[in-house]
Structure 1
Amino acid sequence: MARRENPEINAGSMADIAFLLLIFFLVTTTMDVDSGISMKLPEKPPKNYEPPKIKEKNIFEISINRNNDLFVDGDVMELKDLKEAAKKFIDNGGGVGNPIPGEEKGKECDYCQGARDPESSDHPNKAIVSIESDRASDYSTYVTVQNELRTAYAELRNALSLKKYNRSFVEIEEAYKKSGNKDKNLEIIIKEIKTAYPQIITDLDPTDSSE
């Protein structure tokens, strides 16, 4: 009796299936993407540019050391108090601001609700927030500081917008986006509020306390 041979398995179709599965998983798998803070870098100044002199009282100095301790103008501050301290500084209105387009000279802030302390910032368009961090500090602490400062500006803009237009600045921005960025009246309002409270946050080069 002849011995029956086992038929060979055609592996060609299995290779095709494996390849198709590989393509399927590559297409459908969700990849984790690192997120960060969206920041617009300033334009390069022209040659022979001399930066204007800035009064020390118009600078809100924030420092983060290697232990993630927060210092504001040299004094220790809790992170939870940073937003209100920043709002108080920005909205102080203790002097004359920089002239805006259409003005020959700067004016006092007639919308500021601050203490008008002559030893603090003159005007929101002169108020500069400066951040310096240690290289060994946690990135999460830096991000939290940035979030607190941006929230401070957002709340000041919302308050002014509600006072003048009975609508928050966020609502006006959303309405402008829904118009396809074509509503000129809303565009003028947005520019006005941003001019009233320009977000001026600067980052200094990181320090290295180990040196």
Structure 2
Amino acid sequence: MFRKRNRRVPGLNTTSTADISFMLLIFFLVASSMDIDKGLTRQLPPMETKQEQKATEVNRQKLLQLRIDAADQLLVDDKVMPMNQLQGRVEEFLQSLGADHLIVVAADPASSYDCYFQLQNSLVAAHQHWRDRMARKIYGRGFRRLATVERDNIRERCPLHVTESIPENTKGGDR
């Protein structure tokens, strides 16, 4: 006759499991990279303590008006233009007027962020190309390869004057 033997399962020592799990968590947090949202990099002027606004006369010849309507259509000086042609148009404008210019950007609150970012990227690219061209003309090398004093000189010669507003014909809705 066979006797049934009761076998006992040995217990597992789990005291170090929490420590190991914690160390693995820290390792993966340190070793992994997290996606960083990209946006527009703009240095805003410091906030003024006075809310006083001054009226300034602007010569229409020195003004470039960019507007995005609710249908994401780009209007340059009230004429429809494809977004892929904007950078070239802005470069021509900057080259012809130099530092004495003003670019007015007006985006309808119903327009998409993607269209607005494309407009801003075109402005930045045109401005960088203008500075790079000026640096090559004066110093014989690109803007990024200049010394700090030389870069400051180019920044003074090639400022980007942009103002933003909400178009007057919109109801001022939220984005």
TM bucket (normalised to shorter chain) is 0.7 to 0.9
Q: Indicate the larger mover: 154-163 or 40-49.
A: 40-49
How far apart are residue 58 of structure 1 and its match? 2.3
Out of 80, 88, 92, the residue aligned to residue 84 of structure 1 is 88
Tell me, yes or no, if the aligned pair for 1:66 and 1:209 is still in contact at 8 Å: no
TM-score, normalised with respect to structure 2 = 0.80
Q: Does 1:16 align with 2:24?
A: no
- What is residue 112 of structure 2 aligned with on the other side? 138
TM-score, normalised with respect to structure 1 = 0.68
Q: Indicate the larger mover: 9-18 or 195-204.
A: 9-18
Tell me, yes or no, if the aligned pair for 1:134 and 1:209 is still in contact at 8 Å: no
How far apart are residue 37 of structure 1 and its match? 1.3
- Equivalent position amino acid for 2:78 in 1: G
- What is residue 121 of structure 2 aligned with on the other side? 147
- Runs of at least 5 residues in structure 1 that lack an aligned partner in the other structure: 94-123, 177-185
For the aligned residues, what is the CA RMSD? 2.6
Gap change, CA 1:206 and 1:12, over 3 Å in 2 = farther
User: For 2:172 and 2:57, how far apart are their aligned partners in 1?
Assistant: 32
Gap change, CA 1:16 and 1:206, over 3 Å in 2 = farther
Note the alpha carbon deviations across 1:51-103, whole angstroms, 9 max, x for none. 4322333221111122211001111011122122112222324xxxxxxxxxx
Give the fraction of aligned pairs with identical amino acids, expressed as a percent.
29
- Equivalent position amino acid for 2:70 in 1: R
- What is residue 133 of structure 2 aligned with on the other side? 159
How far apart are residue 194 of structure 1 and its match? 1.7
Gap change, CA 1:53 and 1:31, over 3 Å in 2 = same
Out of 146, 158, 163, the residue aligned to residue 202 of structure 1 is 163
Q: Does 1:52 align with 2:56?
A: yes
User: For 1:62 and 1:161, how far apart are their aligned partners in 2?
Assistant: 27
Larger Rg: 2
- Equivalent position amino acid for 1:143 in 2: F
Out of 74, 77, 89, the residue aligned to residue 70 of structure 1 is 74
Gap change, CA 1:162 and 1:9, over 3 Å in 2 = closer
